Amino acid sequence: MVLTSCSLLRLQPGTTGSIQKIEGMNPILRRRLADLGVSEGVMIRLKGKGPFMGPITLECNGQLFAIRRKEASMIEVKVS
Amino acid sequence: MSSIALVGNPNTGKTSLFNTLTSSYEYVGNWAGVTVEKKIGSLKNGAGKLIDLPGIYSLHPLSRDEGVAAQYLIEETPEALINIVDASQLERNLLLTLQLLEYGKPTILGLNMTDVAKARGIQVNPDILNERLGIPVLPLIARTGKGTSQVLSVLEQPSHIPPVTFQLNYGDIAEQAIASIVAQLQKISGLPNLRWVALQLMEQNPVILELLKKRTDISGLLLIADAAQTRLQQEKLALTLPQWIRSVRMDYIRMVCADAIDSTLQKPHNLTERLDSILTHRFLGLPLFIVFMYAMFKTTFDWIGGPLSDLLDGFIGGPLSDWTNSLLGTIGASEFTHALIVDGLIGGVGGVLVFVPQIFILFLMISFLEDSGYMARVCLLMDSTMERMGLNGKAFIPFIIGFGCNVPAIMAARSIEQPKDRLLTTLLMPLMSCSARLPVYLLFAAVFFPAQQATAVLSMYVMGVVFALILCKFFSKHLFKNETSIFIIELPPYRMPQFKTLSRSTWEKGKGFLRKAGTIILAGSVLIWLMSYAGPGGLNVDMDHSFLAKFGGFIAPLLQPLGFGTWQAGSTLVPGFLAKEVVVSTMNIIYHAPDAAGLEGQIASVFTPLSSISFMAFILLYIPCLATVGVIKKETASWKWTFFSMGYSLVLAYAVSLVIYQGGRLLGWS
């Protein structure tokens, strides 16, 4: 099994990774993500990418939510 | 009377539960100092009052809505709390639950959406939750009302709810800090649970810090917290104190959930997955949304709302006026009273009441989109476009509501987390053509563009949106230079809205309009009528010699370059500031028009097609109505921004109308 770390944006829609690092994010957004249970070590799934470079849809702990690509690129995930 | 607060995360079914537990809204008002709606209802069993707090993820507020909950808990003392959690999202929901348990008031945990959880293969054991958290746990399906009778019977005697004994151990370092902070807090009276206050202080909750600052010098308390944080860093336990507190809570929650939840059979949201694959599709999503919007406007104005308005118009202009006439004749009312009631009241207020069906239908559909979960997707779809304009996708919903009425729309902007985005949305809202401006467009379009009525009306809406986008870019570049906007939105699973909730929220949104019709518009109509009835020469003068004509004539020269420099046009503008609905009712009064056809004939002889476009544009853009100005003042809490919004719109209106009229004339139009 090969483990690779990459930005969340690089995941294929429908695949899951575990969050390694969240760095450089706007603190308000960081807090809101934490409220949703998005933090290091948690499994996160990329559901889809919005039109016109719009936000991407994610699923974490059974909750669907969306953030912008710029911010999603600050989440590093590990895929197996 | 005891008061019980209903607290929970957004989208957990709080409103459904509130509606089933209470028989009536006792009071909908504002929280002190902030204009977040405060909903209080009487419990069905008469045991007390239920207070619905805004949905929050934690007590640490990010938006103004959320600040209210923390403020409520610290400033008022509810006898008990109902914490409603979503059984299919338990892990996340319990974070708030722990903060509430630390608050120390008797608490009931309403385990809602057990049906949804079960359907998704998630089994939650309420007994284990009860044992671990030490509070009554009641499984619920708030949508259908299942389990709510148990909640009511527990609330029968709020004093019988067992006291909370829950206490989490935050480890030696944090516990020492808590103990010394608590010791200092003891000197201050009137605080709720001191351990809770200490923890909220250590978490840097701005509402708590603010409150403590008012009562005492908190620098000493902050030093204790800082020292604890440094020790945590030295021991490599956590980077910050709030992070440490959160991680201790999360560890505990994971432990509870591991025992209480059986998710071995968990299935994905099938319906939501399938709907989202179409509705948020990267290519199909936006076109579909545009189709929905088109259908929504068609339904509001053409298919259902229009015919209903016509019926109402027929009734007010026909039977109601006739009855009133004959009734007034029978009781022998004076000529003055007669004219006041028929021309002033029925003519003025009646001309506005005919829009009630359209407004309620629009609000009903907006409520449907909100409750079904689609609105959140719309924000998602629109975010990239809105971001380019310097706003975020969440501003889109307020703008849509703005087509109904700017007042609730500005209030809806509260769900936007960042102050800059909220302020921009508020400032630009008046550019959305609210339903009050529609009658003006409809009137002029019917007279001058009978073949392209829908296009003419739609182009006014589009003009407002285009200016909003341009100004948005401009303002966000020049007024808020260095502020970025953030975007995060939760996408709730799709669900079928309930009729009861829909009708209640439609009523909540729409009744403001009725209230306006009964107050400002009524008073405005009477005043305008009086000004047209009286003049320097006495009462019942010829309209051309009335006070209204004198006043309209005074501002008419200013309007001459715009193409409508008559006293009649001029005198609609000032009452139009009271409420844009009054523009048409003023015209009804001024032109002494018995019905729509009569008014249209008069308009046709006074305006030209070009000056009518110029006039419509002016009505669209100039100064927001009084109620909107009031709500802008309330929401921004600043006279500067209030005057700014009035000023920029007036300047914009004048410039645009000038360009339209003079430009059109240069091109040889009339």
| Under 8 Å between Cβ of B535 and B517 | no
Give me the residue from B88, B92, B384 closest to A36, CB to CB: B92
- Return the C-alpha torsion angle B292, B297, B298, B302, nearest 10: 160
Chain A residues with CB under 8 Å of B385 CB are 52
Contacts of A18 (CB under 8 A, 6+ apart): A41, A42, A43, A44, A77, A78
pLDDT band at B35 (very low <50, low <70, confident <90, very high): very low
Helix (H, G, I), strand (E, B) or coil at A67: strand
Residue A55 and residue B384: Cβ atoms within 8 Å?
yes
Is the pLDDT at B463 greater than 90? The verdict is yes
Residue B488 and residue A64: Cβ atoms within 8 Å?
no
Give me the residue from B246, B277, B381 closest to A50, CB to CB: B381
Q: Which residue has the tokens 């009054």?
A: B582
Give me the residue from A51, A62, A66 closest to B285, CB to CB: A51
Give me the residue from A37, A50, A61 closest to B280, CB to CB: A50
Instruction: Determine the distance in angstroms separating the CA of A63 from the nearest CA of chain B, rounded to an integer.
Output: 7
Give me the residue from A37, A61, A66 closest to B380, CB to CB: A66
Residues of chain B in Cβ contact (below 8 Å) with chain A: 57-58, 60, 62, 88-89, 91-92, 95, 120, 246, 250, 266, 269, 272, 276-277, 280, 282-283, 285-286, 380-381, 383-385, 387, 393, 417-418, 484, 486-493
Return d(Cα B600, Cα B605) in angstroms, integer.
9
Alpha-carbon separation of residue B666 from B189, B432, B448, B655, B661 (angstroms): 75, 29, 20, 16, 9
Return d(Cα B443, Cα B298) in angstroms, integer.
18
Helix (H, G, I), strand (E, B) or coil at A1: coil
- B13's torsion region: left (phi>0), alpha (psi -120 to 50) or beta? left
Instruction: Determine the distance in angstroms separating the CA of B56 from the nearest CA of chain A, rounded to an integer.
Output: 10
Q: What is the mean pLDDT of chain A?
A: 87
pLDDT in tens, B477-496: 888 876 777 888 888 888 88
Q: Which class for B293: exposed (0-12), middle (13-18), buried (19 or more C-beta within 10 A)? A: middle
pLDDT in tens, B52-88: 888 888 888 887 778 888 888 888 888 899 999 999 8
Is the pLDDT at B32 greater than 60? The verdict is no
pLDDT in tens, A24-49: 888 888 888 988 888 888 899 999 88
pLDDT band at A3 (very low <50, low <70, confident <90, very high): low
Task: Report which residue type is found at B344.
Answer: G
Q: Which residue has the tokens 């709606």?
A: B37
Chain B residues with CB under 8 Å of A49 CB are 282
Residue B280 and residue A48: Cβ atoms within 8 Å?
yes
Return d(Cα B453, Cα B170) in angstroms, integer.
68
Q: Give the residue from A32, A14, A64 showing the smallest Cα distance to B492.
A: A64
Instruction: Determine the distance in angstroms separating the CA of B374 from the nearest CA of chain A, rounded to an integer.
Output: 13
pLDDT in tens, B581-611: 778 878 877 887 666 677 888 888 889 999 9
Which pLDDT score is estimated for B649?
95
Nearest CA in chain B to A40: B247
Q: What is the mean pLDDT of chain B?
A: 86
Nearest CA in chain A to B120: A62
Residue A51 and residue B246: Cβ atoms within 8 Å?
no
Q: Which residues pair with A49 in a beta bridge?
A: A56
pLDDT in tens, B113-155: 998 888 888 899 999 999 999 999 999 998 888 998 898 888 8
Residue A68 and residue B387: Cβ atoms within 8 Å?
yes
Q: Give the residue from B309, B387, B319, B314 showing the smallest Cα distance to B353.
A: B309
Whole-model pTM: value is: 0.78
Please count the residue pairs, one from chain A and one from chain B, whose beta carbons lie less than 8 angstroms apart.
Answer: 99
Return d(Cα B566, Cα B609) in angstroms, integer.
15
Give me the residue from B62, B88, B384 closest to A32, CB to CB: B62
Nearest CA in chain B to A65: B490
Return d(Cα B309, Cα B204) in angstroms, integer.
54
Return d(Cα B106, Cα A22) in angstroms, integer.
38
Nearest CA in chain A to B242: A31
Neighbours of B213 (CB within 10 A): 11
Residue B380 and residue A33: Cβ atoms within 8 Å?
no
Pairing verdict, β B80-86 and B123-124:
unpaired
Query: Which of B105-119, B399-413, B536-550, B649-663 holds the top average pLDDT?
Result: B649-663
Q: Give the best residue of B374, B486, B494 to mutate against chain A (max A CB count within 10 A).
A: B486
Chain B residues with CB under 8 Å of A37 CB are 91-92, 95
pLDDT in tens, B97-106: 999 999 999 9
Neighbours of B1 (CB within 10 A): 9
DSSP, residue by residue, A6-41:
EEGGGSPTT-EEEEEEE-S--HHHHHHHHHTT--TT
Give me the residue from B283, B417, B486 closest to A51, CB to CB: B283
Contacts of A10 (CB under 8 A, 6+ apart): none
Which pLDDT score is estimated for B594?
62
What percent of chain A is helix, strand and coil (3-state, nearest 5)?
20, 40, 40
Residue A50 and residue B383: Cβ atoms within 8 Å?
yes
Least confident span in A64-68, B347-351, B443-447, B486-490: B347-351
Instruction: Determine the distance in angstroms separating the CA of B255 from the nearest CA of chain A, rounded to an integer.
Output: 15
Which pLDDT score is estimated for B33?
44
pLDDT in tens, B264-318: 877 777 788 889 888 988 889 889 998 998 888 788 877 888 789 889 888 887 8
Residue A57 and residue B280: Cβ atoms within 8 Å?
yes
Residue B490 and residue A36: Cβ atoms within 8 Å?
yes
Return d(Cα B226, Cα B177) in angstroms, integer.
9
